[in-house]
Amino acid sequence: MADLITDDGDELMADLLDGTASAPVMKVGWGTGAGTTAKGDTTLFTEASESRVAPTASQPSAKQNQLIATLTANGAKTITNAGVLDADSGGRLIAKSDFAGIGLALNDSIQFTFQINHA
């Protein structure tokens, strides 16, 4: 899973640096739709009905942030993408990944690890 910082994510980082934004509470959500992640994406592909969850954040190195979250399926579905957003619903899509579909049954879980590198 390759993580892509979206345009909204880049804008948020710039706003944090110049003080025009405060750090939002990040949430992780997932989707079931098809598509290829692009820098200009503003939403997940067909966001699934489960609530977004707060990730555990860490900084494994000076230039890397890591967010880990586990989501649990409320029914059978195939998950194809996941993202970091700055709200419980709506909000800005900060980072996103797409991948081959993962079929889930009720109460199956996926743990997502987003690694955001600042080169």
Instruction: Count Cα neighbours of 43 within 13 Å in the Cβ-side half-sphere.
Output: 10
Instruction: Answer yes or no: is pLDDT of 1 > 90.
Output: no
Provide mean pLDDT across the span 24-52: 96
Report the DSSP pairing between strands 93-104 and 77-85.
Answer: antiparallel
Query: Whose CA is closest to 8, among 30, 31, 24?
Result: 24
Provide mean pLDDT across the span 29-49: 96
Contact in structure between 25 and 9 (CB atoms under 8 Å): no
- pLDDT per position as a tens digit, 50-59: 999 999 999 9
| The predicted structure's pLDDT at residue 38 | 95
Residue of higher predicted confidence among 119 and 65: 65
Quote the domain boundaries for residue 54. Answer: 4-117
E-state strands within the chain? 4-5, 27-31, 56-61, 64-72, 77-85, 93-104, 109-117
Domain count along the chain? 1
- Calculate the average pLDDT of the chain: 94
- Look at phi and psi of residue 12 and say left if phi exceeds 0, alpha if psi is from -120 to 50, else beta: alpha
Contact in structure between 3 and 115 (CB atoms under 8 Å): yes
| The predicted structure's pLDDT at residue 2 | 66
Provide mean pLDDT across the span 78-107: 96
Report residue 117's pLDDT band, with 50, 70 and 90 as the boundaries: confident
∠ Cα 65 52 34 (to 5°): 90
